[in-house]
């Protein structure tokens, strides 16, 4: 498989370990990619608050670039996935609006016909590669590791734009991945809730309550780690966990929040360093130890 690769701002900024671990895993799987270095930010739904059309134009520009290459887009971020899916959904059902947007893109010689699909690495692995094929690359069985899923809003809503009906596995994608590496799912109600990141700079008290509730609840239920396909959720749930847990629950940050490719990399036997696990704010030492002690896959 080959993809037009759109890593997103955060994987190239505040969460570099996501970019590195994704590349390591993709290489091991033989997934080819061409990085869309000319593409702009999706707007993350924030730019859209000021100017929805501007956001749609930026995203359609990216879709047109991938379309020219004849490749589907692969993203690493729930928010990129959701914002792009919503923009694609809007223009594909409204040809007049798309024509209007294409007018703006003409100066760059771009025109979008509406054929690009957008897939998060997590979805691509399940839908295009298949979990059975993925499992063949694993060298460890991560039994005894309890992991709580945390999706990120944009990866689960709105279900129409995300095409959940046509792709029912998307609803349980993280759980299915956790089970495929041999881990146990720690299910909890907050897994599809907001992590608090979008209001971090607007209403920090509320944001901290969300971080403390989600990480604290998952820990109380026995989770050793939380797994997320969203680097924005990661920034908040990992980076602000010490402050949130102290402020809201009066306890300590004790739940590592790992990226999807880091979990896969651990099952593939990759080292802490290759996966950038030492770059987390909440210590990942214990889960690295658990992975290293895990039985070899037969």
Partner 1 sequence: MPETTPTTMHVKLKIKRFDPAEAGGKTWWQEYEVDVHPDSTVLDSLIEVREQNDGTLALRCACRASICGSCGMKVNGSAKLVCKTRVVDVAPNGEQLTIEPMGNQHVVKDLVISLDSFFSQINRVEPFLQPSFVPEQGEYTASNDSMENLLTSMNCIMCGCCVSDCTVLEVDANFIGPAALAKAWRFTEDPRDSKRDERLKNLNDEDGGMWDCTRCMKCVEVCPKGVAPMDRIMELREAAIEAGNTNTSGYRHTESFYNSVKKNGRLDETRLAIDSAGWTNIPRLLDLAPIGIAAMRKGKLPPLMPHKSEDHKKVKDLYKSVEDEA
Backbone phi, psi, residue 259, to 5°: -80, 155
Among 95, 130, 144, 158, binds partner 1 (CB under 8 A): 158
CB of 229 to partner 1, least distance (A): 16
Buried/exposed 23-47: b ≥16 CB within 10 Å, e otherwise:
bbbbeebebebeebeebebbbbbeb
How many chain residues touch partner 1 (CB under 8 A)? Answer: 60
Cβ neighbours for 285, distance < 8 A, ≥ 6 positions apart: none
CB of 186 to partner 1, least distance (A): 16
**Is 169 an interacting residue with respect to partner 1 (CB under 8 A)?**
no
Residues 177-216 that bind partner 1 (CB under 8 A): 189, 193-194, 196, 198-199, 201-206, 209-210, 213
**Is 274 an interacting residue with respect to partner 1 (CB under 8 A)?**
no
Assess contact for 235 and 243: CB atoms under 8 A.
no
C-alpha–C-alpha distance, residues 91 and 104, integer Å: 14
Beginning with the edge strand found earlier in the chain, give each strand of the sheet holding 146-149 in spatial order: 184-185, 146-149, 225-228, 257-259
Interface segment toward partner 1; rule CB under 8 A; list 5-13, 114-122, 260-268, 290-298: 5-13
CB of 95 to partner 1, least distance (A): 19
Residues 16-35 that bind partner 1 (CB under 8 A): 16-17
Among 61, 90, 245, 259, binds partner 1 (CB under 8 A): 61
**Is 285 an interacting residue with respect to partner 1 (CB under 8 A)?**
no
**Is 69 an interacting residue with respect to partner 1 (CB under 8 A)?**
no
Q: Which tokens is 132 given?
A: 């059975």
**Is 250 an interacting residue with respect to partner 1 (CB under 8 A)?**
no
- Map residue 272 onto helix, strand or coil: coil
Cβ neighbours for 47, distance < 8 A, ≥ 6 positions apart: 41, 54, 55, 58
Cβ neighbours for 116, distance < 8 A, ≥ 6 positions apart: 63, 64, 66, 67, 72, 73, 88
Enumerate binding residues for partner 1 (CB under 8 A). 9-10, 12-17, 37-41, 43-54, 57-58, 61, 104-105, 107-108, 153-154, 157-159, 189, 193-194, 196, 198-199, 201-206, 209-210, 213, 239-240, 242-243, 278-281
């Amino acid at each position: 498989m080959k993809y037009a690769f759109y890593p997103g701002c955060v994987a190239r900024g505040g969460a570099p370990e996501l970019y590195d671990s994704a590349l390591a895993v993709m290489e091991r799987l033989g997934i080819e990619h061409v990085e869309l270095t000319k593409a702009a930010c999706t707007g993350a739904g924030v730019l859209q608050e000021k100017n929805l059309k501007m956001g749609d134009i930026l995203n359609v520009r990216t879709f047109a670039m991938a379309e020219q290459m004849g490749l589907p887009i692969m993203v690493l971020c729930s928010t990129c996935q959701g914002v792009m899916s919503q923009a694609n959904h809007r223009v594909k059902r409204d040809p007049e609006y798309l024509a209007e947007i294409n007018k703006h893109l003409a100066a760059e010689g771009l025109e979008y016909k509406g054929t690009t699909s957008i897939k998060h690495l997590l979805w691509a692995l399940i839908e295009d590669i298949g979990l059975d094929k993925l499992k063949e690359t694993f060298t460890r069985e991560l039994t005894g590791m309890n992991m709580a899923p945390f999706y990120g809003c944009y990866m689960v809503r709105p279900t129409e734009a995300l095409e959940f009906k046509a792709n029912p596995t998307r609803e349980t994608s993280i759980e299915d991945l956790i089970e495929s590496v041999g881990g146990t799912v720690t299910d909890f109600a907050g897994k599809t809730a907001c992590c608090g990141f979008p209001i971090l700079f607007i209403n920090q008290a509320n944001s901290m309550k969300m971080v403390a509730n989600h990480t604290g609840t998952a820990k109380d239920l026995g989770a050793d780690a939380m797994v997320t396909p969203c680097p924005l959720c990661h920034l908040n749930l990992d980076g602000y966990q010490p402050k949130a847990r102290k402020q809201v629950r009066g306890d300590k940050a004790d739940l590592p929040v790992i990226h999807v490719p880091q979990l896969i990399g651990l099952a593939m036997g990759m080292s802490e360093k290759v996966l950038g696990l030492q770059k987390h704010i909440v210590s990942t030492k214990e889960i690295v130890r658990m992975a290293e002690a895990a039985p070899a896959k037969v």
